[in-house]
Amino acid sequence: MALQVFLAATLRKYLPGYDAGPGHAMEVPPGAVVRDVARQLGIPEEEVKLIMVNGIGSKWETPLQGDERVALFPPVGGG
């Protein structure tokens, strides 16, 4: 199944050459969940604070059907 993955801020370091405009096109097997996407990209779960699938807040166990837009965001820091 094909999907587009969008990485914010510090998560981009896990995908050298990442282009934020179009995001990253990738394939996952049928029955995949968001956790499988992060694992395939080598992104540790503890570095992700917010998950969105097609603009809707989601969880690691959210099932994917194909053609989704999956966005991963790290915790926000500042002071």
* DSSP class per residue in 9-58: GGGGGGSTT--TTT-EEEE--TT-BHHHHHHHHT--GGG--EEEETTEE-
Q: What are phi and psi of 37, to 5 degrees?
A: -65, -50
Question: Distance between CA 60 and CA 19 in Å, rounded?
Answer: 24
pLDDT band at 77 (very low <50, low <70, confident <90, very high): low
Report the half-sphere exposure of 74 (CA within 13 A, side-chain side).
14
Domain span holding position 51: 2-73
Count up the domains in the chain and report the number: 1
Residue at 67 is within a domain: yes
Enter the pTM of the model: 0.93
Residue at 13 is within a domain: yes
Residue at 78 is within a domain: no
Tell me the mean pLDDT in the region 56-79: 91
Residue at 79 is within a domain: no
Reported as a single tens digit per residue, the pLDDT across 3-59 is 999 999 999 999 999 999 999 999 999 999 999 999 999 999 999 999 999 999 999
> For tokens 């587009």, what's the residue?
4
Residue at 23 is within a domain: yes
Q: The CATH number of the domain where 36 resides is what? A: 3.10.20.30
